[in-house]
Amino acid sequence: MGHKTPLYSAHLASHAKIVDFGGWDMPIHYGSQIEEHNAVRTSVGMFDVSHMTIVDVTGADAKRWLQKLLANDVERLLEPGKALYTAMCNEQGGIIDDLIVYRMAVGYRMVVNCATREKDMAWMQKQLVGFDAQIRHQDQLAIIAVQGPRAVQKTADVLGNAYATAIAQLKTFHGIPVGEWFISRTGYTGEDGLELMLPAAAAESIWRSLLEHGVRPCGLGARDTLRLEAGMNLYGSDMDETISPLEAGMGWTLAWQPEMRRFIGRDALEAQKAAGVARAFTGLVMAGKGVLRGHQKVRTSLGEGETTSGTFSPTLGYAIALARLPAGASGEAEVEIRGKWQPVKIVKPPFVRNGKCVHS
């Protein structure tokens, strides 16, 4: 038996198929993964992401500590509510975790992955030495992600005036506090949407209200196909502590300026950048029969690489994958599937955004 979120009973009531995910009992689907995927692309769906880890950072040195801890620069968070995507790296430049950090009215809020919770908390605690900063795991909060082209309006309708007024103010990649809640316009699907951080005791009631108003519950299966179509990394599949942000398509999250900001892993990343990154993170599409999966061998004109994650794309109707290939590889390639080499095309992800094909 794994950890259970405050919404576990609601999942059982909706006949979810439960699986282990990073030590948590989570819904993989509620009957049809493809229908859940399509609901998010065309209308609205909701996900229980209460297994994610919310960590608040406070203290006089909170910003200075985060400037050391994170590869992106929290100085860019010019106003309360603004969010930033970043990596937290080790000294070798490998990714300990990827996360979102928000500037709050007092301090900062980070949302990190569930499977890395223990090592993340231990690493952050270790780095606090010498700083007047404190971290607190906000385990009394749940998170519901409402995603899709109708997500914002539907959520506002369900929650009522006070929340609707706050939601109307939200810009993409911003959050806003509403009482004990924190509502952000963020997500992991490539669609517009909201993530509701709310007291765990209120989560099931809100989930049921959304359900009664036509918001479809969606499991981890649809969450994975949606994020893959959106070209978004999954920690443990597309990156880990042996992979740098430069090798994970996250070079844009590295804030090199100002030079005096010596974040953890900077020296190793500067050396890698100067030497040239040998492996590039890119996408693959396969028009023929078959499904791309993670850890399949890829042959290109410049040498071999490997898929990191793959799936059949319900939106596009063919297989897609993320892959790490020799830098500069382009055009046609081959993937080994069950001992046979199948033709694929190397493309630039994302594959789908806002319901439309965008890969090139």
Express each pLDDT in 240-250 by its tens digit: 999 999 999 99
- Measured over the CA atoms of residue 206, residue 211, residue 216 and residue 220, the dihedral's sign is positive
How far is residue 37's CA from residue 327's CA, in Å, rounded to a whole number? 32
Q: What is the dihedral of CA 88, 185, 104, 264, to 10 degrees?
A: 10
| All domains of the chain in start order, with CATH | 1-276 (3.30.1360.120), 278-360 (2.40.30.110)
* Residue 289, pLDDT above cutoff 90: no
Residue 288 banded pLDDT, cuts 50, 70, 90: confident
Nearest alpha carbon to residue 186 among 218, 239, 146: 146
Residue 229 banded pLDDT, cuts 50, 70, 90: very high
* Residue 162, pLDDT above cutoff 90: no
* Residue 1, pLDDT above cutoff 80: no
pLDDT single digits (tens) 65-122: 999 999 999 999 999 999 999 999 999 999 999 999 999 999 999 999 998 999 999 9
For 102-170, the DSSP string reads EE-SSSEEEEE-STTHHHHHHHHHHHTTTS--EEEE-TTEEEEEEESTTHHHHHHHHH-HHHHHHHHHP
How far is residue 116's CA from residue 221's CA, in Å, rounded to a whole number? 20
Half-sphere exposure of 265 (CA within 13 A, CB side): 27
Residue 145 banded pLDDT, cuts 50, 70, 90: very high
Nearest alpha carbon to residue 231 among 149, 313, 169, 168: 313
pLDDT of residue 112: 97
Under 8 Å between Cβ of 86 and 99: yes
The average pLDDT across 335-351 equals 97
Nearest alpha carbon to residue 244 among 351, 89, 84: 89
Query: What is the pairing mode between strands 181-184 and 175-178?
Result: antiparallel
Q: Average pLDDT of the chain?
A: 97
